[in-house]
Structure 1
Amino acid sequence: MLHLPVLITDLGLILAAAGVTTLLFKKIRQPLVLGYILAGMLVGPHIHFFPTVTDSESVHIWAEIGVIFLLFSLGLEFSFKKLVKVGGSASITAIVEVAFMLLIGFVAGKLMGWALMDCIFLGGILSVSSTTIIIRAFEELGVKHKKFAGLVFGVLIVEDLVAILLLVLLSTLAVSRQFAGAEMFFSILKLCFFLVLWFIGGIFLVPTFLKATKKLMNDETMLIVSLALCLLMVMLAVKVGFSPALGAFIMGSVLAETTQAEKIEHLTKSVKDLFAAVFFVSVGMLIDPGILVSYAVPILIITLATIIGKFLSSGMGALISGQPLKTAVQTGMSLAQIGEFSFIIATLGITLKVTSDFLYPIAVAVSAITTFTTPYLIKTSEPFYLFLERKMPQKWVEGINRYSSSTAGITTMSDWKILLKAYTFNTIIHAVILIAIIFAGSRYLQPFITEHIINGNKGIIISLIVSLIVMAPFLWALAIRRIERKAHAHLWLNKKYTRGPLISLEILRIGLALFAVGFLIYQFYSTWASIIVALALIILAMTIFSRRLQAFYDRMENRFLYNLNAREEQNKQPEILPWDTHLTELTVSPESDLVGKSLIELAVRERYGVNIALIERGTKMIPTPGRDERLYPNDKVMLIGTDDQLAAIQELFNGAIKDNDETYFPKKDMTLQKIVINSSSPVFAQTIRDSGIREQTQGLVVGIERKGVRILNPDSNLIFENEDIVWIVGNNKKIPDLLRKT
């Protein structure tokens, strides 16, 4: 008799339960994540009415793969360029929210008498909102075009990075079991170092590799290569002491900067959905319904703390960042939930065996409740804002409006700020690269050469020379390269106050470069004589080959910047505007009355008060389109307007309303008709364009027979003549009224 492995049996059971529950949750229009969790509870060890998963260890391995692909997918949606562009408002809002929720979670746990690690992890669980739940709610409620939605998405991007940082810090804290300040600082420093290094290396290498192999890539190979890159980065992250989830997130964010990002996201979606389903089912398997009943009061307390705390902290952060009261209220009520990252943080506590058994199911229960409440909170956010505006003292409202208006102005930076910012950025980037080369040369290159190529002192010298050659362009950039020449020149002209500090900065740069060389040499030779000789040689070489080093470095920098900006150039869009007017993207539905019409015909500016800034048609970008440009199905249109204006035109793009007052006619009314023109016909002696056939009859002239000559698809400037036989495709009820002799 054939024996079926337990893993396959369990997987079949998991997917069957997940399939049934997700169909049910789709029917009742609830998040699929909750369906997966319910499926896990049904097939888990705590409910015995259904078949139970037997090999839970194997399921947990599949679940870890699910976490990897889930974080990889979040990375594809994240991208560091987006983080840079979210602006001060989203960053301030996210930081204020996370800080307050960490404190609220910790205090709530302490008030309920929980252990220290439970309180710390509770704060981490409550600090991050759910990207998946918010995006789904925005889509269902049709508010993605509104101004506050852009701020919410920016906050979510910042929160994703904060969640990654929390995973690292909580892992360090769980292992040490104490607040060791030096160890925590070292962990943060190590994380920042590898984030910078992986980002620079990834952007330089991965897009170049994908571009070089583009002709060889079909969907199958692109999927395999993308997953391979993800898992290789996972292995590298684990090798240097980080979690697999961090490696997956980093590779996703690197691939998000490539021109292939959308394709990779599409190809890996099915893989992510499969393994993420297993992960969320495994989440449900760990929930004991008995614990939920026993901890009903803590669940209620934490749910209220989540909703009220996130509303107040996010709203306060938005106000501090200069947002209007309306945007702040809507943002706060949109972010009042926890989700997938909270599950991952809770799973970390269980994996490291530092949290109590009850914390995990409580987190899941709170997430489930806040998932249900999120759409209702978003819906009621605008009425609640109007209520607050009526009840608040008028002076407060006016003060908030003045503060919001004042922060919306353009800020300028002094020459010193520009120069110091550039010098700091230059120093950090090249210091990270040089440190990486030093350790790679001393710990990997030198042992490899001395063991496999040349033994003894000669092998060490070769390793040192190779390392110095690799370091040379970056040493030149750190010590000699001119940065922000204009700001530097302005400051240099002020002899009395600024030349001294400028000279000090240049000396500091050169000193850091010499220190890097000395530190490298010290890894190979510990004698001062060798260090001094090598320093003299590297200074001489950099002086002689300065131009070549500059040219080589410029080529590398241009390649890096090209890779970094390639996707942005491909999908270039205008910047977001201040105040209530903002940009949003709408897609022309094939059923919309906009299809085939020119912008002058649509007159969206005159009728709706909005402007069309850009049309994206496949890979083609049409910025500030002209009046004769037409819209076609699935065009992506960037519109500028207020929330109300964009809401009014959104239904037109979706095909929900008609662009004119004509009644809808069924497909069967579209027929091919033959009309004979005579001197008394309303269209006689008019051009096809001026005749109004298209506008008044929804018809199209497809052919004309004139004096025995047939003209197929006639030009719109052709004039109707007596005894023309005209073939028209259109509404058979309207064409006769216009063309037949009355």
Structure 2
Amino acid sequence: MTHLPNLITDLGLILVAAGITTLLFKWLKQPLVLGYIIAGLLVGPHTALFPTIIETENINIWAEIGVIFLLFSLGLEFSFKKLVKVGGASSIMALVEVVVMLLLGYVTGKILGWSTMDSIFLGGILSISSTTIIIRAFEELGVKSQRFAGLVFGVLIVEDLVAILLLVLLSTVAVSQQFAGAEMLEAVLKLAFFLLLWFLAGIFIIPTFLRKASKLLNDEMLLIISLGLCLLMVILAAQVGFSPALGAFIMGSILAETTKAEKIEHLVAPVKDLFGAIFFVSVGLLINPETLVTYAGPIALITVVTLAGKFLSITSGGLVAGQGLKTSIQSGMSVSQIGEFSFIIATLGLTLNVTSDFLYPVAVAVSAITTFTTPYMIRLSEPLYKSVEAMLPDKWKASLSEYSSGAQTISTTSDWRLVLRSYALNLVIYSVIIIGIVMLSARFVNPLITKNVVPGNLGDLLTTAVTLVFMAPFLWALAVYHPQKEAMGRIWANKNYRSLIIVLEFSRIVIAILFIGFLLHQFFSVQVAIVVGLVIVALLAVFSQKIQDFYIRIETRFMNNLNAREISDAAKMHHTLTPWDAHLTSFDVSPESAVAGKSLVELQIREVYGVNVAVIERGRRTITAPTRNERILPGDRIYVFGTDDQMETFRQLMEAEVELEMNGQHDKEDIRLQKLLVTAGSPLLHTTIREAGVREKTKGLIVGVEKNGRRILNPDSNLVFEEGDIVWIVGSPWRISKLEAARQENVS
């Protein structure tokens, strides 16, 4: 009889149990993750009702592979560009939640008499919500299009990055067994350094490689290469001292910026599902039902802390960020659960042997309970908001409304802010690249050259020359490059600021010279380094133009790779919609454009210019074949079909700016939510909204009216203003002040 390895027997048992339980959970309309966990519980060593797996050690290896592919898939959906686009409100809410839950988890663990490490890891487990469960709940309840859902998605994106940071910090704490401030800061800086370095190098190299090899890539090859890159980054992360899961997440986020991202995500999905199922089943394998009974009290307490803590922290963060009471409460009720990353953090504690055996099953039990409660929490969010609003004093509601309105103000960006931000960004990016090149050269290139090419000082000199060639374009960019030339020119025109600009420019040059010294210090004594450094500075000055051209090519390739998905999408649309001599061209609608805010019928685009607006892209929404009443809004991208001559005429319309009425200035207006009281002398008194002509006089929009204590949102144009009414207008304060002036004239 042929001997069957235990690994295959165990794997077959796991998959059969997982298949049966998930079918049951699908029929019950419950999250499949819970089905996997229960499957592991049934075939685990603590349950004798069913056949039990034999070698849990092998299954743990499969589970670790499952974590790698799970985070690889999360990285494909994450994208650092999405993180950059996340609003300030979502970032504030996420950070408030993480800090509050870390503290609550730690305090709860101490109250229960747990050890310091158990309490710390409990805080980490409770601080991250479940992306999978929330998205699925939103889809089932049909609330994905609501405002609070967008905020929650932003919170989840920030949480993903915070979870990666927590994995690093918790590993540091587990090794040192104490809160060492210097070690924690070093871990954070090390993580930030390698994250940025890997992302920059990955975006520069990998999309180019995939594009060059695209003709040779079929589905099989793309899958193999993607998984190979994933595991390569896993190895690299482990070598540096990070979690293997971190490497998988980083590679996923790099591939998310390529044109192959959606294809890779589709190909990897079955692999992720297989190993992800094994991971979640392995979670159930570690659960001892007796432990759940023994720790029923702590499980109940931690569940209450999770539900209440996440709700209060997110709601508070939303209010601090200037979101309305309703939006904040709905957001808080949506994220009151823990999930995938919580399991990974709990697994980290077990792997490092720093947490007690009971913490893992307790975390799983809390996750299961909060997963069940999530849909009900979301459904109850609106009734809860109405109850809270009814209980709040009018003064509090007025203060919240005023604070929220003020937070929505659209402000301008000064030239100084643009210049200083670009200086800081350049300093960070180029410093990371230069340090990375020097470290790579000292650790790998120099030993290779001195052992195999030229030994001794000549080998060091050759290494320095090779390293300098790679450093030169980034040294030039750090010392000379001006990404904000126009803003810099406007500041330089003011003689009072020229000395500050000179100091900034001199500082950049000094930092570049210090980096040259940093390179030379790796291979030479101080005296030799000074001489060689002077020679290098002279060579950089002589070949500055060639170095500049080299850098421009590098930057162009990087930006093309970074924006490859957007460029590809536009090219596909251009190709599929241009069968004749006429062609499709896209235009971005700037806020100052003369077409902004006008409907297609008002612009008479087809009649006057002979072109057709085929598509309007508005954020993540695509409007195909827009109707004549569709308005073109600032930030839209419109795709217009016509000939070259027609396009040129239409382009002039798109680039024409509206004439501003503010003394001929071309600055952005300060837009706020203003309130206006209708008094006896007001020109609005006894007129309808239509007759008052507020839109025409102030270019403002009436969004609400308070009449006899009753609030009317988006009132009808036939509503008549009465004395004592409070009118809420979105517009420019100086324009709305014209109505105030008119009221004073009527009184006088």
TM-score, normalization by structure 1: 0.78
1:420 alignment partner in structure 2: 420
1:440 is displaced (CA, Å) by 1.1
Write the letter of the residue equivalent to 1:157.
Answer: I
User: For the structure 1 residues 628 and 323, does the alpha-carbon distance in structure 2 shift closer, same or farther, using more than 3 Å as the test?
Assistant: closer
1:623 is displaced (CA, Å) by 5.7
Deviations 1:402-456 (A, max 9, x none): 2222211212222222211110100000000100111111111111011112222
2:734 alignment partner in structure 1: none
1:489 is displaced (CA, Å) by 2.0
Q: Matches of residues 249-648 of structure 1 in structure 2 within 5 Å?
A: 249-496=249-496, 498-528=497-527, 530-571=528-569, 625-627=625-627
1:484 is displaced (CA, Å) by 1.3
Deviations 1:220-261 (A, max 9, x none): 111111111100000110011101000000000001111111
Write the letter of the residue equivalent to 1:480.
Answer: V
1:71 alignment partner in structure 2: 71
SS at structure 1 position matched to 2:50:
coil
Identical pairs, percent: 61
1:228 alignment partner in structure 2: 228
Quick check: 1:200 aligned with 2:218?
Answer: no
Deviations 1:193-220 (A, max 9, x none): 0000001001111111111111111111
Write the letter of the residue equivalent to 2:165.
Answer: L
User: For the structure 1 residues 472 and 123, does the alpha-carbon distance in structure 2 shift closer, same or farther, using more than 3 Å as the test?
Assistant: same
Range with bigger deviation, 252-261 or 268-277: 252-261
In 1, the alpha carbon distance for the partners of 2:280 and 2:28 equals 19
Write the letter of the residue equivalent to 1:503.
Answer: I
SS at structure 2 position matched to 1:568:
helix
1:658 alignment partner in structure 2: none
TM-score, normalization by structure 2: 0.77
1:576 is displaced (CA, Å) by 14
User: For the structure 1 residues 405 and 520, does the alpha-carbon distance in structure 2 shift closer, same or farther, using more than 3 Å as the test?
Assistant: same
Write the letter of the residue equivalent to 2:444.
Answer: Y
1:527 is displaced (CA, Å) by 3.3
In 1, the alpha carbon distance for the partners of 2:588 and 2:4 equals 58
Deviations 1:260-298 (A, max 9, x none): 111111110000000000000010011111011111111
In 1, the alpha carbon distance for the partners of 2:60 and 2:615 equals 47
- Structure 2 regions of 5+ residues with no counterpart? 571-585, 592-599, 602-612, 631-636, 639-748
In 2, the alpha carbon distance for the partners of 1:429 and 1:447 equals 27
2:577 alignment partner in structure 1: none
2:181 alignment partner in structure 1: 181
Deviations 1:589-638 (A, max 9, x none): xxxxxxxxxx99xxxxxxxxxxx99578xxx99767443999xxxxxx99
In 2, the alpha carbon distance for the partners of 1:178 and 1:613 equals 62
In 1, the alpha carbon distance for the partners of 2:17 and 2:626 equals 54
RMSD: 2.5
In 2, the alpha carbon distance for the partners of 1:214 and 1:380 equals 50
Write the letter of the residue equivalent to 1:517.
Answer: I
Does the 8 A contact of 1:315 with 1:332 survive in 2?
yes
1:127 alignment partner in structure 2: 127
In 2, the alpha carbon distance for the partners of 1:87 and 1:624 equals 27
Does the 8 A contact of 1:83 with 1:158 survive in 2?
yes
SS at structure 1 position matched to 2:563:
helix
SS at structure 2 position matched to 1:196:
helix
Deviations 1:336-356 (A, max 9, x none): 000000000000001101011
Write the letter of the residue equivalent to 2:549.
Answer: A
Does the 8 A contact of 1:80 with 1:253 survive in 2?
yes
Write the letter of the residue equivalent to 2:227.
Answer: L
Does the 8 A contact of 1:207 with 1:258 survive in 2?
yes
In 2, the alpha carbon distance for the partners of 1:621 and 1:521 equals 53
SS at structure 1 position matched to 2:287:
coil
In 2, the alpha carbon distance for the partners of 1:181 and 1:374 equals 37
In 1, the alpha carbon distance for the partners of 2:158 and 2:614 equals 27
Larger Rg: 1
Does the 8 A contact of 1:94 with 1:158 survive in 2?
yes
SS at structure 2 position matched to 1:51:
coil
In 1, the alpha carbon distance for the partners of 2:365 and 2:562 equals 41
SS at structure 2 position matched to 1:48:
coil
Write the letter of the residue equivalent to 1:540.
Answer: A
Does the 8 A contact of 1:333 with 1:381 survive in 2?
yes
1:136 is displaced (CA, Å) by 0.7
Does the 8 A contact of 1:574 with 1:613 survive in 2?
no
In 2, the alpha carbon distance for the partners of 1:115 and 1:491 equals 58
In 2, the alpha carbon distance for the partners of 1:106 and 1:443 equals 41
Write the letter of the residue equivalent to 2:523.
Answer: F
SS at structure 2 position matched to 1:4:
coil
1:583 alignment partner in structure 2: none
Write the letter of the residue equivalent to 1:552.
Answer: F
1:570 is displaced (CA, Å) by 4.3
In 1, the alpha carbon distance for the partners of 2:426 and 2:540 equals 18
In 1, the alpha carbon distance for the partners of 2:342 and 2:590 equals 33
In 1, the alpha carbon distance for the partners of 2:315 and 2:615 equals 32
User: For the structure 1 residues 570 and 335, does the alpha-carbon distance in structure 2 shift closer, same or farther, using more than 3 Å as the test?
Assistant: farther
Range with bigger deviation, 546-555 or 91-100: 546-555
1:98 alignment partner in structure 2: 98
In 1, the alpha carbon distance for the partners of 2:305 and 2:506 equals 53
1:604 alignment partner in structure 2: none
2:83 alignment partner in structure 1: 83
In 1, the alpha carbon distance for the partners of 2:334 and 2:181 equals 35
User: For the structure 1 residues 615 and 63, does the alpha-carbon distance in structure 2 shift closer, same or farther, using more than 3 Å as the test?
Assistant: farther
1:94 is displaced (CA, Å) by 0.4
In 2, the alpha carbon distance for the partners of 1:527 and 1:427 equals 25
Aligned residue pairs total: 597
Does the 8 A contact of 1:441 with 1:467 survive in 2?
yes
In 2, the alpha carbon distance for the partners of 1:575 and 1:391 equals 47
2:160 alignment partner in structure 1: 160
Write the letter of the residue equivalent to 2:561.
Answer: N
In 1, the alpha carbon distance for the partners of 2:94 and 2:318 equals 9
User: For the structure 1 residues 622 and 305, does the alpha-carbon distance in structure 2 shift closer, same or farther, using more than 3 Å as the test?
Assistant: closer
User: For the structure 1 residues 545 and 142, does the alpha-carbon distance in structure 2 shift closer, same or farther, using more than 3 Å as the test?
Assistant: same
- Structure 1 regions of 5+ residues with no counterpart? 579-598, 601-611, 631-636, 639-742
SS at structure 2 position matched to 1:149:
helix
SS at structure 2 position matched to 1:524:
coil
1:30 is displaced (CA, Å) by 0.4
SS at structure 1 position matched to 2:522:
helix
User: For the structure 1 residues 256 and 574, does the alpha-carbon distance in structure 2 shift closer, same or farther, using more than 3 Å as the test?
Assistant: farther
Deviations 1:80-103 (A, max 9, x none): 000000110110110011011111
SS at structure 2 position matched to 1:462:
helix
2:142 alignment partner in structure 1: 142
Does the 8 A contact of 1:614 with 1:621 survive in 2?
no
1:603 alignment partner in structure 2: none
1:690 alignment partner in structure 2: none
User: For the structure 1 residues 176 and 576, does the alpha-carbon distance in structure 2 shift closer, same or farther, using more than 3 Å as the test?
Assistant: farther
Range with bigger deviation, 69-78 or 318-327: 318-327
Write the letter of the residue equivalent to 1:271.
Answer: V
1:9 alignment partner in structure 2: 9
Does the 8 A contact of 1:571 with 1:621 survive in 2?
no
1:520 is displaced (CA, Å) by 0.7
